[in-house]
Chain A
Amino acid sequence: MTTTAAPVALTPRRGLAAARARHTAGRVLAALVRSVAIIVPVFLVATFVTFALRALSGLSPARIQLGEEATPEAIARVEAQWGLDRPFLVQYGDWLDGILHGQLGTSWANGADISTLIGLGLGVSLSVATLALLIGVVVGFMLGTVAALRSTTWIDRAITGFVTVISVMPAFVVGIVLVVVFAVGLHWFPSGGYVPAEQGVGPWLAHITLPAVALSFDVIADVARQLRAGLVAAYRENYVTGAVVRGLSPRRIFFGHVLRNGLGPTLATLGLKFPALVGASVVTEWIFGLQGFGRFANDAAQAGDVPAVQGVLVVSIVLVVSFNLIVNLVLARVTPAAQRGV
């Protein structure tokens, strides 16, 4: 039979506290190591496939520069200039080395530096996508939370209905409506174009708000639905009854217990959402006349500008991978149980 434990000496107690702190750090570190162990091979395979694109497509800078009727000698000369006559693996090594140093190479179409071009486009797209994500998370969070707290009432049904409606509205339709109403009709926002943040935060926000709103609907719907489901499920758990019986306040129960456990699925979807937003921005870039990443990608593909397309793919891979990494680390921090469950 257990007896009352002897008083624990001070030193081991400190040791334990320290061990516990290390434990928390260790959990996040373990998630980091695990993620990196997945990311590195994924990155290598994905970039290899990306690089093989030229060989697979049979495209050549000579076609772009010399046209269709070039002599084989001229083509060989141009390809030699681009270093394409070297062994495949040497070219890949060179290219990969450049990527690791942030150099994505030179455009076949106009000889411009691809990193610079993508940087410009990405500035636009990331601005729009980030704002869309922010709007989506904030609004979706509020809707999902209110629906969960008032679940099965008319408020819940109204929110669920609204969310269903906005989730089926295509971004390009929303975008066109927003332009017609708020830009052309009411003149509240510019109807198109882009101003970098360095030239003033106000104009920058004015230019990205409508496209961001158009893109955010999808995020709002996803976040609201996931969060509502997660919270409703968490409220049914016995540990909520436990907290109620201990006399904890509804606020403490919501933030300390329900939210913490109900958030997992929402965070996981957000990890996939951001890269998808950057991709989806192509549509809104057309409607709002933005020279973004999507436009650049489209132009590069149409022109058969292989280095530019490869650059686009590499940047996309990096976006997807790093956003997943961030979400994994946040999940490891917020819901350690979820991590262990896997």
Chain B
Amino acid sequence: MRFAFTEDQLLLRDTVRGLLARECPPDVVRSAWEARSGRAPSVWAKLAEAGVTAMTLSEASGGLGMDELDLALVLEEAGYAGLPDPLVETVAVGAPLLEAVGTAAQKERWLDAAAAGDALIAVGFEGQPFVPHAAVAAVALLHRGGDLYAVPREELPLEPQVSVDRSRPIARVDYAPDARHRVDAGDRAALDAAVGVAFDRAAWATSCVLLGLTRRMLDLAVQYAKDREQFGKPIGAQQAIKHHLATALIRQELARPLVYRAAWSLAHRDSVRDHGAHVSMAKVHAANAARHVAKTALQVHGAIGYTIEHDLHLFQKRAWALAAMYGDVGFHRARVGAATLPD
């Protein structure tokens, strides 16, 4: 038993943390809001240079062949920075899914480009009301009627919607399955398994991002509590504020190990039978912690936190959206229940 990341994994985290602190400050997130683009193109280019966009593809496909454990802290940092681009969909889910089940032509068309940072990937699982990032992705992987389709953007019927998080371009996609776009997984069982893994990756990677968002909101609140003075002293000297923030930290820190454990289980999914339940536990705690801290951070800020001018809402709204994405708390709790309770 050893529950800690390796030196290399921590080093990569530090690199990405530094890069995002420089390249993706809140102003950059705000530009994605204003443009409603869901993009921070210069940041994505830098991440590609650092190899992040190639992490999950195998070496044979020109990637770095890294697993969920390598990716976990990178995703968390992306959450912390509020990176608008679809790191979860492109790197954690789309690229490995396309590599696993795409036709030779599909892989040729998109994998190198994705690894190089030139193509984004969107994913739409069955039952998902919106496909985020579809408008900016080169290809959307859509699960429809038990089959998976890789649909190029120009052939995708998009009906854009407005997200509470204006940096998330979401769209309704009313796609009529077209055999030309179908992937090639061999048989149905293999496809179901690949889509199942992709969904687990999506839910887990979103949990990592939520952890980062949570930490960002808590950092903002703690800093504000130290700086803001009322009654002649910092509000953070008041016990009510202290206790709010202490509770927020506890929620965050008890979600963290479940998210990291799920990373391990996914990376070793062939031998970890319950990896789906592990992912679901992670999503339940990460979503609940994020929503809790989003509320606490606002309360600690008072009215300034209730403005568009302040940065808090950038992270808060992302957290609300992601807490419900790829299975909300109710969905994932039920999945844990199915694995643990008598039926």
- Say whether A associates with B: no
